A and B are shown apart, each in its own frame.
Chain A
Amino acid sequence: MPAIEMTEAAVLPADWRDFLALTKPRVMSLVVFTGLCGLLAAPAMPPFALGFTAILCIALGAGACGALNQWYEVELDAKMRRTAKRPLPDGRMDRQSALHFGVGLGAFSVILMGLATNWLAAGLLAVSILFYVLVYTVWLKPRTAQNIVIGGAAGAFPPLIGWVAATGRVEALPLLLFAIIFLWTPPHFWALSLFVRSDYAAAGIPMLPVVAGLDNTRRQVFLYSLPMAGAAVAPWPLGLTGPIYGVSAAILSFVFVVLAGRVLANRTTEPSAMAAEKHLFAYSVFYLFALFTALVADRWIA
């Protein structure tokens, strides 16, 4: 049995705050926001209680992903400064509790989604949870530098699920929203991994900067930002949104590409001198919030 399971966590019940920490609330906020925007941008609005439940289920599903990810990666988390203080590597909780919590939360979120909205939304939620846990966490993350590219699909589901929860149908606009987040994920995570790559290297995770080098990663960050910008602007010329979204998306995406260009031009190897990478990472979070806010504003104002 690993030493980590022989700590006081074996006898002392974990604090409820540690269960909350297991759900990665900060990551959850972005997932909830994009899911809510998918729901609000849909042409049909469900009653408040059902819309609220749909978003709650998306949040609980994301929480289940966080818990199962931490259950599976406890040894990796213990090796990285950024994650060493999480409940499992810090010995504040036993692994079995985390597993039971994650599986229970995931199953509960899917069943509640199906009963409250429709089973297509519930099916998509189940696929997104399984995709994140099995395809990304267990299969791709420890094996390939392209982990983020395919794994990004898991984070792209929430607006699609929100839309389907409201309408019961999969349509062109939510598929484009899926594509935007899917293409946004690699530059977002690779910008981060450029300046925390020593953490990933120490944990043996094959993130792109670790296995392919800094210049190659910077080139990939820039290259991915181009189709991402195209996907972000596309709903406007396709007639799926109005000018409020179209103009906002064009300006926001232009700034994104410029910042990605600054990352491409940067040659430093010192994390402390990676201002361009840190700016892009911070802006990428703002970008997604602003883009989806513009989408909802376009739907409700125009």
Chain B
Amino acid sequence: MPQPDDELIRGRQRGRARVTALLLGAFVVLLFFITIAQASRNW
């Protein structure tokens, strides 16, 4: 049975991991669109 403190630490780590994963996913999508825009850039 984990201690309440452990639970809190794991919760924090889970929250940060989720947010990091979301941000990395968003960054990959952004890079894709930047590449497309750069490739067809005539402005």
Interface string of B1-42 (1 = CB under 8 A from A): 000010011001101100100000000001001101110110
- Give A99-140 as 1s and 0s: 1 = Cβ < 8 Å from B's Cβ atoms: 000000000000000011000000000000000000000000
What sequence of 0s and 1s flags, for each residue 1-19 of chain A, a beta carbon within 8 Å of any chain B beta carbon?
0000000000111111000
Q: A14 — which chain B residues lie within 8 A by C-beta?
A: 12
State whether A15 touches B12 (Cβ < 8 A).
yes
In the A-B complex, the 6 residue pairs with the smallest Cβ-Cβ separation, listed nearest first, are: A49-B33, A47-B37, A49-B37, A16-B19, A13-B12, A116-B34
Q: How far is the CA of A13 from the CA of B34 in the complex (A)?
A: 33
Q: Known A46-B43, A47-B37, A47-B41; judge A13-B16 contact (CB<8 A).
A: yes
Residues of B within 8 A of A47 (CB): 37, 40-41, 43
* Interface residues of chain B: helix, strand, loop or mixed (majority): helix
Within 8 A of B (CB), among A213-238: none
Q: How far does the alpha carbon of A52 sit from the alpha carbon of B41 in the complex, in Å?
A: 15
- Which of A11, A12, A115 interacts with B34 by CB under 8 Å? A115
Chain B interface residues toward A at CB < 8 A: 5, 8-9, 12-13, 15-16, 19, 30, 33-34, 36-38, 40-41, 43
Complex: A50 Cα to B34 Cα, angstroms: 6
In the complex the two chains form, is B15's CB within 8 Å of A16's CB?
yes
Contact with B along A25-44 (1 / 0, CB 8 A): 00000000000000000001
Contact partners of B8 in chain A: CB under 8 A = 12
With A12-B8, A15-B15, A16-B15: A53-B41 Cβ-Cβ less than 8 Å:
no
Closest to A44 in B: B43
Given the complex of chains A and B, what is the CA–CA distance between A44 and B12 in angstroms? Answer: 45
CB neighbours of B19 from chain A (8 A): 16
- Distance of A47 Cα from B30 Cα, bound (Å): 13
